[in-house]
A and B are shown apart, each in its own frame.
Chain A
């Protein structure tokens, strides 16, 4: 059971802005950077945002990340049908000698 909580679903129409939240605690998001992964059905996750707000090469600038205190957010602006996927936040947790933890995941639907 994940210690990073995300809403199960989010949706928007093409062109809209969608925001996904990721809530953690002082032992994870509060003390370590947050990363975001995008996963299409039947495929491996792909790194979307690293170190809170950095985009890997090839990721459109429609995707942006932010972090404040013990929470983080992923924003998708100019929503496209190709953005329909599952999104996971992740961070390092300093408790129990340290471990990497993924969020509960959010399914984004383009209406």
Chain B
């Protein structure tokens, strides 16, 4: 059974870089997308981006200039870096395994399953 676990600092100072790692157990990184999603306290979910095991990346246009997602297949990990953070980046950050399927009509279906338990990152001085 695949499990994901986020790790990284819980407190980051404004203007600095937020760095998180997701360790995957019970599955290989191959053939899947691996994503990051965040949720500010009391608010809705926001997709940050994801990476295919080959290294291809896809980012939320609103965060693209500040985000980098990378993968280390040798460690079965993938990572998130978000630069120049502000208080608005305070959120629970989740990592998740992404799948891409196609319907019989040819439409794309992207979805995330399973998810890590999430880690709260607070941006404050």
Contacts and interface: CB of A to CB of B under 8 A. Distances in A.
Interface in B66-125: 94, 99, 101, 103, 107-118
Contacts of A91: 110
B111 A47 contact: yes
Interface in A68-111: 88, 90-92, 96-105
B6 to A, nearest CB: 10
A56 interface: yes
Nearest to B113: A47
Contact of B45 (A32, A45, A51): A45
Contact of A33 (B58, B61, B103): B103
Interface in A19-54: 31-33, 35, 37, 43-47, 50-52
Contacts, number: 82
Contact of B94 (A45, A56, A90): A45
A99 B112 CA distance: 14
Contacts of A2: 44
Contacts of A56: 113
A102 B45 contact: yes
A92 B112 contact: no
B109 A50 contact: yes
Interface residues of B, number: 27
B111 A35 contact: yes
Contacts of B110: 32-33, 35, 91-92, 100
A51 B115 CA distance: 18
Contact of B111 (A31, A90, A101): A90
Contacts of A52: 103, 109
Nearest to A105: B44
B95 to A, nearest CB: 10
Contacts of B47: 90, 99-102
B60 interface: yes
Contacts of A33: 101, 103, 107-110
B107 A50 contact: no
A26 B50 CA distance: 23
7 closest Cβ contacts across the A-B interface?
A33-B109, A47-B113, A100-B47, A51-B109, A102-B45, A35-B111, A44-B115
